[in-house]
Amino acid sequence: MRTDDGLYINIHEAAAVNYGAMHLLLDPQTLTFTSFVTPEANGWKGYMQAPRTTPWRTVQVADSACKQLASRLILNLNDPCALEDVSWIHPVKYMGVWWEMIAGKSAWSYTNDSPAIDLATFDYSKATPHGYHGATNENVRRYIDFAAENGFDAVLVEGWNIGWEDWACNSKDYVFDFVTPYPDFDIEYLNEYAHSKGMKLMMHHESSSSVRNYERHMEKAYKLMNKYGYNSVKSGYVGDIIPRGEHHYGQWLVNHYLYAVKEAAKHRIMVNAHEAVRPTGLCRTYPNLIGNESARGTEYQAFGGTQPGHTAILPFTRLQGGPMDYTPGIFEMDLTYAGNKSRVLSTIGGQLALYVTMYSPLQMAADLPENYEKHLDAFQFIKDVAVDWDKSVYLEAEPMEYITIARKAKGSDNWFMGSVAGKTAHDSQVKLDFLDEGCKYEAIIYADAKDADYKTNPQAYVITKKTVTTKTVLKLRSVAGGGWAVSLRPLDK
């Protein structure tokens, strides 16, 4: 919230363990908030046994929006790291067989032989492939090759395992076993192929919100990952929760999410949970929780629901509790190429900016390789940008309107900048006085072109190079729904 006299107020919570998530209801007449806890299936707020520590309720008050973005209050109200060895936890920049399913080009499923699948009896070896399965050996190799050539760490593959034909029926208990691949996905060969190119595959566990089923199979699934060299997993919780009647943000599910992270740590596995409860800083205690979704990410732009301004509010709200796997980097906004009538409401300049403004040590280049090949000059920023930082400087911000951030790459003298705009254009005048005094830098600027438009001309961008110092003031314009990004490399070091 922003008050009339210029104060910025943030209400949140921290260290939510064994407790339902908090929500706020605003009374439009009295302008007062009432908080409530997500209930259990029977309506109870939860089940407590003393002694018990409840989550923190936080109110942050600052005289600037940038100070709100810089706050680490929520993270620091969590317990210190609970893991003795964290040497296996590291940042990840990845690609994946995923966006093509979101866009409609391919499918998670393998066959149309039956509208309902019983994993105990259905024989996939005798099934007829429908021909548009995304997780095939050939297609996964294509992603591995492109990702390896461009310096990525991993490739996510969704739809690799049996059961996707009727996964989202919302009432099925035994929906996946998390260990059996489809006939056209050779799990041993593809992992060996990725490793031969210095890369990993990223596992995908979609539970379809059948949480009891996931917990039954979790140990075997993590052991399979260890066997084939996976070190990270994207888990998902799409649909209504089973046990039936529970809520994604209730105490039962909050406990499950943390249980999954703790069990993964025993197997030295990093977790990126989608559709899970919004983070409350627990990544400080369990740093193998390397990412979360827990808000509308890029896929909702493909569905047509996310409007400009969304990415200029999330750092003030959702990201206060921890990093977000927003899955940025879409270059082809018009999805009719994949049979989808929707379009992503952004520009290429705005997509590049997200790698800086949406903090996460886990960052995806979400688009298809062929879409990047059309714009390799802009793709260079995604290749160059860091995913872990030594320092962050919040240069200008206004919730829903614009955010501009500069970050120094961890263990490096390189800096990266990003700026996103909401529903109106924004002109930035940014001083580079955060750079090292007396040092010259090469600045590569990726900006919206003058005629860029997130609806009609989203792929219009301009790349310029210039030498800058601490005395330089960059004057750059973001169109509505757009943005700009800059890489800064010292010339005399």
Q: What is the pLDDT of residue 91?
A: 97
Q: What is the pLDDT of residue 302?
A: 78
The yes-or-no verdict on residue 108 having pLDDT over 70 is: yes
The yes-or-no verdict on residue 88 having pLDDT over 70 is: yes
**Which part of the chain has CATH 3.20.20.70?**
92-388
Is the four-CA dihedral 26, 30, 31, 36 of positive or negative sign?
A: negative
pLDDT confidence of 434, banded at 50, 70, 90?
very high
Q: How far apart are CA 218 and CA 224, in angstroms?
A: 10
Read off the pLDDT of each residue in 158-182 and give the average, rounded to a whole number: 93
347: closest CA among 233, 263, 430, 425? 425
Q: What is the pLDDT of residue 492?
A: 84
Q: What is the pLDDT of residue 301?
A: 80
The yes-or-no verdict on residue 99 having pLDDT over 90 is: yes
Q: What is the pLDDT of residue 169?
A: 73
Find the radius of gyration of the CA atoms of the chain. Answer: 23
pTM assigned to the model: 0.97
Give the CATH number of domain 92-388; options: 3.40.50.2000, 1.10.274.100, 3.20.20.70, 3.20.20.10: 3.20.20.70
**Which part of the chain has CATH 2.60.40.1180?**
394-490
CATH homologous superfamily of 394-490: Golgi alpha-mannosidase II (2.60.40.1180)
pLDDT confidence of 42, banded at 50, 70, 90?
very high
Candidates 299, 332, 396, 398; catalytic one: 299
**DSSP-derived secondary structure for 112-158:** -S-SS--TTT--GGGSPB-S-BS--HHHHHHHHHHHHHTT-SEEEE-
CB neighbourhood size of 4 (10 A): 5
DSSP state, residue 314 = G
Read off the pLDDT of each residue in 172-179 and give the average, rounded to a whole number: 95
Tell me the per-residue pLDDT of 222-277, one tens digit each, with 9 for 90 and over. Answer: 999 999 999 999 999 999 999 999 999 999 999 999 999 999 999 999 999 999 99
Q: In Å, what is the CA distance from 465 to each residue of 141, 163, 443, 444, 447?
A: 35, 50, 6, 5, 11
* 299 annotated active-site: yes
pLDDT > 70 fraction of the chain, expressed in percent and rounded: 99
Q: Which residues contact 49 (CB under 8 A, 6 or more apart)?
A: none
pLDDT confidence of 170, banded at 50, 70, 90?
low
Q: Which two tokens stand for residue 423?
A: 């529903």
Query: What rounded mean pLDDT belongs to the chain?
Result: 96
